[in-house]
A and B are shown apart, each in its own frame.
Chain A
Amino acid sequence: GENVEQHPSTLSVQEGDSAVIKCTYSDSASNYFPWYKQELGKGPQLIIDIRSNVGEKKDQRIAVTLNKTAKHFSLHITETQPEDSAVYFCAASGSVQFYFGTGTSLTVIP
């Protein structure tokens, strides 16, 4: 089955700096890669996703890149703000079931 690894597990950045979270996957059949943001005590919220037919997608301060050959994808957050502080999960899917990474706790220091 699919195995998704996520790094780092914790990340602290100064407000205004960029944050990068990386994930790798094992199953070449995976073709959909969403990223979720989870605030304390709440459910995960889809923030951006990418499909295997594109290499990069951007939405304002958030971008995701995908390298199918190397089987890794990354989340980039620019101009970080304190409200970006949360746990971020990557996921990979080739069908209905999603396989989640272990999460990255991002802290943006004002």
Chain B
Amino acid sequence: GAVVSQHPSWVICKSGTSVKIECRSLDFQATTMFWYRQFPKQSLMLMATSNEGSKATYEQGVEKDKFLINHASLTLSTLTVTSAHPEDSSFYICSAISGSSYEQYFGPGTRLTVT
């Protein structure tokens, strides 16, 4: 199957700083990428959908100025958590689909801890 990578796999940052998470499709071109947030023992919560070269579409309740998403190329999307606070600590997962394919492939996730 298709491979999606995320970097870093875990990150610890201080409150008030910003952190960037990268999501890459390694062996296919991702026309659409998604960013999810997952709390312990819960399902995936969609944060935003991004298409290459256009602005991301954010889900209701997700602050677009706080969670900056950039889908600059067909293989890379980034999520920047700005002015992070402890409540932003979570497991962030990206996924990608290719063209008209139905299959959505997930990255391994990034554990963010804000101290």
Contact = CB atoms under 8 A, between A and B. Distances in A.
Answer whether A and B are interacting partners: yes
A41 B61 CA distance: 25
Contacts of B103: 34, 46, 49
Contacts of B77: none
5 contacts: A41-B111, A42-B109, A43-B93, A44-B106, A93-B102
Interface of B: 1, 4, 6, 32, 34, 41-44, 46, 49, 93, 95, 97, 102-109, 111
Interface of B is mostly: strand
Interface of A is mostly: strand
Contact of A43 (B46, B49, B107): B107
A71 B3 CA distance: 31
A45 interface: yes
Interface in A22-81: 32, 34, 36, 41-46, 49, 51
A52 to B, nearest CB: 11
B102 A43 contact: no
A100 B43 contact: yes
Q: Which of under 10, 10 to 19, 20 to 34, or 35 or more describes the interface residues of A? A: 20 to 34
Nearest to A31: B102
Interface of A: 32, 34, 36, 41-46, 49, 51, 89, 91, 93, 96-98, 100-103, 105
B104 A98 contact: yes
Nearest to A51: B102
A78 B81 CA distance: 42
Contacts of B111: 41
A97 B106 CA distance: 14
B43 A102 contact: yes
B98 to A, nearest CB: 12
A104 to B, nearest CB: 11
Given A41-B111, A43-B93, A100 B105 contact: no
Indicate the member of B41, B102, B106 with the most A CB atoms within 10 Å. B102
Given A34-B104, A51-B102, A97 B1 contact: no
Given A49-B103, A89-B44, A100-B43, A43 B97 contact: no
